[in-house]
Structure 1
Amino acid sequence: MTYSRVTEKDVAALTDIVTAERVIYPATVHYDHDQFKQVRSLPDVAVQPQTNEEVAAILRYANEHLIPVTVRGNATGLMGANVPIEHGIDIDMIKMNKVLDYDPDDLTLTVQNGFRIRDINEFLADKPFTYIPAPAMKWATIGGNASTNAGGMRAVKYGTTREHIRGITAVMVDGTIQHFGSKTVKNSSGYDLKDVIIGSEGTLAVITELILRLIPRPTINLDVLVPFVDVKKAISVVPKILRAGLVPTGLEFFSRETVEYWESYAHQPFMDHTGGGYLLITFDGHDGTVVQRDLDRAMQIARDNGALAPVLMGDEAHRVAVWETRNQLLTAIQQTTTAIDEVDIVVPISQIPKVLDKVAELQAKEKVSMPNFGHAGDGNLHIYMRKDDYSDEEFAAKVDRIIRQLYATAKALGGEMSGEHGIGFAREPYFEAYYGKDKVRILQLVKDAFDPNHILNPHKIFPSVGANKQENRPLTLD
């Protein structure tokens, strides 16, 4: 596919759509990266729409002139999904940031794409309802979360972003505005195109509005930090807790090594130094007796299986501090080295120890520091590779070898490539080797149906048009 570059004539046309103050031309370096900054590519122009109709006009124009389009939120992604590989037009959703409808009778909140998770929390702070998904990046936009089907730390009990979106408004590539889903709880009316678009990373349509499911805010939240001699011992307790019929709100794991990176970043000690590995367990609900009973049962299981002295989070300041530490682990790892890369594979919960064994093996073999943490309750691991003093070339080669091995391990264990960060551009070269040509062919047919000219976010998720710009596409994972 040969795409058109943006010309002065195109800029004038876009200016007529959104006004001059919302057109950034030439685009600045603000638009050429995501949080990792591993992949950089500058759009020709960035535009900031405020309405569905403006988005529709931009897409209609781009489609007619074969100009590639990439959508951007707050750039908290890690896999290059928002990076405009073919340049073109960057649709910056930051000004589509309004609450459109708060409906406590139907337990919904309707917002625009650019509304941040932090904004949602603030809007609902004085209300009896909450939007429950809890991704660590609170400044991420809800549209970005929907585009990658973000998971977060409450997925074990409440599910991922997809389960909490009742409906979306999406602008199709030809400029038509479509509504998929609604405020209703049920929908068994044909293909669920809402769920096809959620998680599609901007390759099928542009989400502009979202109807979010709200739940009554839990009035009881109990947390406990449980140290173990090592991470594998901690992880081994998780299936036992779940098998007992307990459903924690969150079940996080991290290692002492990872905590030390946080201590270096935060310039303060962590609240516990007894463990080599930790579980952070939380239960919530509306009946204090029931919530306390479930937590006590989980703690007894942990003690029976090697837990050291737990740190109860009865004090709100302690509770906030430990969750802030958990939320800052990625930032800490990133800020204490020259660069990082990441794999966020997801495997059946019982298979997490086998992945950790593979991480230890690769860390020793490649001599790359690989701190990791993740969601023990849903099998999603965040495994990082620190560049430290390696050259760009050395690090890239090591990362490629490590990624292939981790994906091969995940596939053998019945897992998936990504639990919540998506595939984007950075992991697209591995997709076909992981899932096979038959699955890719089906996805290509879906892409063709939604975006015949393939102008929406080219070179993302799976090979779809021409030669990808990345080299070393693996034919196999081992």
Structure 2
Amino acid sequence: MSKMEYQVITPEGVEYLKSVTAPDRVFYGDEIEYDYAHDEMPDFGTHAPDVLVEVLSTEEVSKVMRYAYEHCIPVTPRGAGTGLSGGAVPIYGGILLCTEKMNKILEWDLDTMTVVIEPGVLVMELANAAQEKGVFYPPEPGEKTASVGGNVMTNAGGMKAVGYGVTRNYVVSMECVMPNGDVMQFGSNVAKNTSGYDIKDLVIGSEGTLCIATKLRMRVIPQPKVSYTLLVPYPSLEQCVGTVPKFINSDLNPTAIEYMPKSLLDEAAEYLNKIMPHRTADSYLILMFDGSTVEDVERRCDAAAQICLDNGAEDVFLCNTDERKEAVWTVRGASLEALKASTTDMDECDIVVPRNRIADFSKFAGTKMKETGIRISIQGHAGDGNMHIQLMRDDMDKKLFGERCPKLMEELYAQAKIMGGQVSGEHGIGHARVGALETFMGPQMIALYQAIKNAFDEKHILNPGKVIR
């Protein structure tokens, strides 16, 4: 459906929304704060909604969606708004349906190792609550203030995905509101299930284009008792990422395998005013090992250190205290904010390539940086090939950057495709990467995506313009 076919919400419609929610949770026109017009990447565009509705229950979401469906008004679901691809931006106006206040942890069931939550619960809140219960919620994206519902709808990964998997691995079941207001349950709290199509896993990662999750049953696991980190400097990127397959093919089972170039490590450390050891190497590998005993974790760290040294590492620094571990992982987590603070404008993506092509892709990007004059930073998850790539304007003329940056991004995506990669490893498509997805997938796959969208949302009112056109 095109923008011209959507209806504009009327003052009477606003009053109806107030009647099914509450007058103090419905905001119209100039009452809406600017922050709701964008996510964490305003460079992808700002679009104000016509009306903002803060919902508190499945029933309220259902009534809002039924009204929107009957009147053909676009609805954009939004959690904490920490996305990086424009997925929660209301590009067609309409209703911005905010689930931030649906933030209760409803039920713990430690017999089945599950917890029932509302979608607005923050990742750090769930992680902390799990720790208090003596269990562990592993998914840890870079933004701890992201909502779990948003993580589910983007299938967020994070630094511990190598050892523990991504968000999808922790979703047991979902209560969802369909575009027409119907309430449905996907998945169930059983250990095995081959009953029909797996709609739950289809919905996870759908970026709010198919339905809206209003209740989530999430899996938790036993809490690891010991966690150590290794910081490993290398003289070259090739040697750094070239070591990664040695860990993947071993029985050492690392929790995380990250890499950072020296330039970014320096920027992040200086941004945080942190002291990091050995800041003279070209590239750095950061490894995490979790376990149940000190002896087991130390054994695996010793073996990993030897692998690193055998493959060209200059040294291996063991971080086995909270202070040392916090210093390393805080610097790694601050990389995006440090880059934002270092430049004027930037574009960002999270291309994923086979693990053994990270160095090749980085070399290609380095060549393009020299050709275009645009500073490129690459870091990310060496353990799964997911690279976070930033293009910085710095002091380049804004118009010139606006001309060169899209072309450079197209070339980076094209190279990733040649290497057997994909558009995104965890940030999602949103509206910023729709064109790239079409190029990667081709018309046959896009037609299948559109058929799935039509089956859920034939009026295309739910998060229109995201993932597919």
Report TM bin, short chain: over 0.9
Alignment-derived partner of residue 362 in structure 1: 368
Q: Does 1:20 align with 2:23?
A: yes
- The superposition leaves residues 331-368 of structure 1 with CA deviations (integer Å, 9 ceiling, x where unpaired) of 11112211221121111111111111111111111111
Q: Please point out which of 8, 30, 33 is paired with 2:35.
A: 30
Q: Does 1:187 align with 2:201?
A: no
Alignment-derived partner of residue 387 in structure 1: 393
1:210 partner SS: strand
- The superposition leaves residues 176-233 of structure 1 with CA deviations (integer Å, 9 ceiling, x where unpaired) of 1111112222211111111111101110000111111100000011111001113222
Q: Please point out which of 251, 268, 272 is paired with 2:278.
A: 272
Q: Does 1:304 align with 2:304?
A: no
Alignment-derived partner of residue 467 in structure 1: none
Alignment-derived partner of residue 152 in structure 2: 146
2:391 partner amino acid: M
Alignment-derived partner of residue 376 in structure 1: 382
CA contact under 8 A between 1:48 and 1:93: conserved in structure 2?
A: yes
Shifted more, 378-387 versus 19-28: the winner is 19-28
Alignment-derived partner of residue 475 in structure 1: none
Alignment-derived partner of residue 213 in structure 2: 207
The residue correspondences of 1:273-422 to structure 2 (distance < 5 A) are 273-422=279-428
Q: Tell me the distance in 1 between the aligned counterparts of 2:420 and 2:181.
A: 40
CA contact under 8 A between 1:166 and 1:185: conserved in structure 2?
A: no
Q: Tell me the distance in 2 between the aligned counterparts of 1:277 and 1:440.
A: 38
Q: Tell me the distance in 2 between the aligned counterparts of 1:399 and 1:81.
A: 21
1:391 and 1:187, CA in 2 relative to 1: closer, same or farther beyond 3 A?
farther
Shift of 1:316: 1.5
2:248 partner SS: helix
CA contact under 8 A between 1:227 and 1:308: conserved in structure 2?
A: yes
Q: Please point out which of 154, 159, 162 is paired with 2:165.
A: 159
2:324 partner SS: helix
2:289 partner SS: strand
Shift of 1:268: 4.1
- RMSD, aligned α-carbons: 1.2
Shifted more, 140-149 versus 343-352: the winner is 343-352
Q: Please point out which of 132, 146, 151 is paired with 2:138.
A: 132
Q: Please point out which of 439, 444, 447 is paired with 1:441.
A: 447
2:389 partner SS: strand
Shift of 1:259: 1.4
TM-score normalised according to structure 1 size: 0.95
Alignment-derived partner of residue 466 in structure 1: none
2:360 partner SS: helix
1:36 partner amino acid: M
Shift of 1:81: 0.4
Alignment-derived partner of residue 9 in structure 1: 12
- The superposition leaves residues 291-326 of structure 1 with CA deviations (integer Å, 9 ceiling, x where unpaired) of 222221111110001111211102210111111111
CA contact under 8 A between 1:231 and 1:254: conserved in structure 2?
A: no
- The superposition leaves residues 88-145 of structure 1 with CA deviations (integer Å, 9 ceiling, x where unpaired) of 0001111100011111111001100100001112212322211111111000000110
1:371 partner SS: strand
- The superposition leaves residues 380-431 of structure 1 with CA deviations (integer Å, 9 ceiling, x where unpaired) of 0001111212344322222211211111111111111100000111111222
Q: Aligned residue pairs: how many?
A: 463
Which structure 1 residue ranges, 5 or more long, are not aligned? 464-478
CA contact under 8 A between 2:274 and 2:331: conserved in structure 1?
A: no
Q: Tell me the distance in 1 between the aligned counterparts of 2:317 and 2:300.
A: 17
Give % identity. 39
